[in-house]
Chain A
Amino acid sequence: MRRELHAEWTKLRTVPGAGRLLLGLVTLTAAAGVALSAGVTCPWGRCTQDTVRLGLSGIQLGQVFVVMLAVSMISGEYGTGLIRLTLAAMPRRATVLAAKAALLTGLTVAGGAVAVAASLLGAGLVLPARGYPPPSPADGPTLRAALGSVLYLALIALLSLGVATALREPAAATGTVLGLLYLFPLAVLLLPDPDWQRLLWRLSPMNAGLAVQATTGLDGLPLDPWTGLAVPAAWATAALLAGGLALRRRDA
């Protein structure tokens, strides 16, 4: 695994792109979170909005950069035919995928941590003027929301890597992951029965995964915060398994 990791890291750092995508992640997540926080109100004089969740909502947008990073890590190799050289040099295909996954997780966690920290800091600057206290890392639920959001990003990255390894074509892989993330919540709303809605919500990677960001109104959520993260984890596992199997069995 060490050699695979070393080779994949060299590959990643010698092409510009990963850095820019991570910068995009941080910028978009923080900007959107701060913008939403700046628009928060106290309706009827009651300041009960979940400002932590609102401040971290930028992840719903910033996650596209994570998707792009993951897809480019594998699809670029198929597009240029480089995959043959990679697999000739490192014939243990599952290990190659694991190395890519490990690198991707590391990068996403690092970038995600910065994005989450920037979001909460920025929210802390604008919220007092709107009548809310700034989010504090000492607060248990806030810490949970922050950590959980970083984990969520890592899981989405792994999901995208698995899908891209299975599908190879970058446009199809990107479209599939974006659909999985953004069309699922729409589909939830189409179901007529509230019970069915809750069921589909529990299967949706973004809906369930971002439940970890909620700090108020937890009773109304269909899933507990940490349990919610299990959903994108399951999707990521399934995608990586499918990708790994495809990688192993296919001709390079």
Chain B
Amino acid sequence: MRATIEVIGLRKRFGPTLALDGMSFTVEPGRVTAFVGPNGAGKSTTMRVVLGLDAADEGRALVGGRPYRTLRHPLRHVGALLDAAALQPGRTGRDHLLWLAHSQGLGAARVTEVLDLTGLGGGVARRRAGGYSLGMRQRLGLAAALLGDPPVLMLDEPFNGLDPEGIGWLRGLLAGLAAEGRAVLVSSHLLSELQHVAGHLVVADRGRVVADTGVAALAAATGGLEAAYLRLIGRRGDA
């Protein structure tokens, strides 16, 4: 399967609010694509539509050229981290990954691998998830995303809650995953981190894409990613 995410003309309304207004972009393999925008831009909604969790009123979202619901072992195609706090407090971290693994036909061995990969090896994973710190929950969510060894990754605010060491580690992990030829979509507010990691930038505002460009060119041309971002958002507001 070609590792891509394609979002084509998505429109979605939540009651009176227009969350997505013609959102269209493509995430290509081999690089980290940063998905940024102000609050309410529609980033999380787009990701949920790609995963088949929310239904768009119009438009399509394809993973490797196919709709998510047609994927036989979805987590082996797309790994997603949407909400790290979505955990049953009474269940251990290991067991949380275990049922996910079973749902994809994977076993306990893979669970151990992915726990080591995300730094949750040892006794941490055998503690109840209700007692996890924010950083531990974030790492568990990453582990869940990596469980199926997917060629496509979608991560919503993965840097939240990580200490500086953790942020460095994650940057390295993401770069490595992209270098392996995966398509990685990362949404974040921490533009400074993304500047070092992202190769491509998709800026969203009010439900549609405002800019879809290579990062290096943008940062070099206008003196910094953050400045460029603010200018893009500002310009959109004037129009």
Contacts and interface: CB of A to CB of B under 8 A. Distances in A.
A7 B99 CA distance: 5
A191 interface: no
A91 B69 contact: yes
Nearest to B50: A88
Interface string B87-128: 111111001101110111100000000000000000000000
Given A17-B90, A88-B74, A7 B102 contact: yes
Contact of A251 (B53, B74, B85): B53
B83 A81 contact: yes
A91 B71 contact: yes
Contacts of B226: none
Nearest to B89: A80
A80 B87 CA distance: 6
A91 B55 contact: no
Given A10-B98, A91-B52, A252-B53, A3 B104 contact: yes
Nearest to B52: A91
A85 B92 CA distance: 16
B55 A251 contact: yes
A90 B53 CA distance: 11
Contact of A89 (B74, B83, B87): B74
A15 B91 contact: yes
Contacts of A89: 74-75, 100, 103-104
B80 interface: yes
A148 B231 CA distance: 71
A85 B144 contact: yes
B48 interface: yes
Given A15-B91, A80-B87, A6 B102 contact: yes
Contact of A80 (B48, B55, B86, B92): B86
B52 A85 contact: no
Given A88-B74, A252-B48, A82 B87 contact: yes
Contact of A16 (B48, B90, B99): B90
Interface string B68-80: 1101011100001
Nearest to A81: B86
B5 interface: no
B54 interface: yes
Nearest to A82: B86
A87 B69 CA distance: 10
Contacts of A81: 83, 85-86
Contacts of A80: 85-89
B218 interface: no
A89 B75 CA distance: 6
Contacts of B69: 91-92
B103 A87 contact: no
Contacts of A8: 99
Interface in A1-25: 3-4, 6-11, 14-17
A130 to B, nearest CB: 44
B51 interface: yes
A251 B103 contact: no
B144 to A, nearest CB: 7
Contacts of B170: none
A222 B103 CA distance: 46
B95 A14 contact: yes
A89 B71 CA distance: 10
Contacts of A16: 90
Given A4-B103, A252-B54, 14 more contacts: A3-B105, A6-B102, A7-B102, A11-B88, A14-B99, A17-B90, A80-B89, A82-B87, A84-B53, A84-B82, A87-B53, A91-B69, A91-B74, A251-B54
Closest 9 CB pairs of A and B: A7-B103, A14-B95, A252-B53, A81-B86, A10-B99, A251-B54, A6-B102, A7-B102, A11-B99
18 contacts: A3-B105, A6-B102, A7-B100, A11-B91, A82-B88, A85-B82, A85-B100, A87-B51, A87-B52, A88-B51, A88-B53, A88-B80, A90-B103, A91-B71, A91-B74, A251-B54, A252-B48, A252-B54
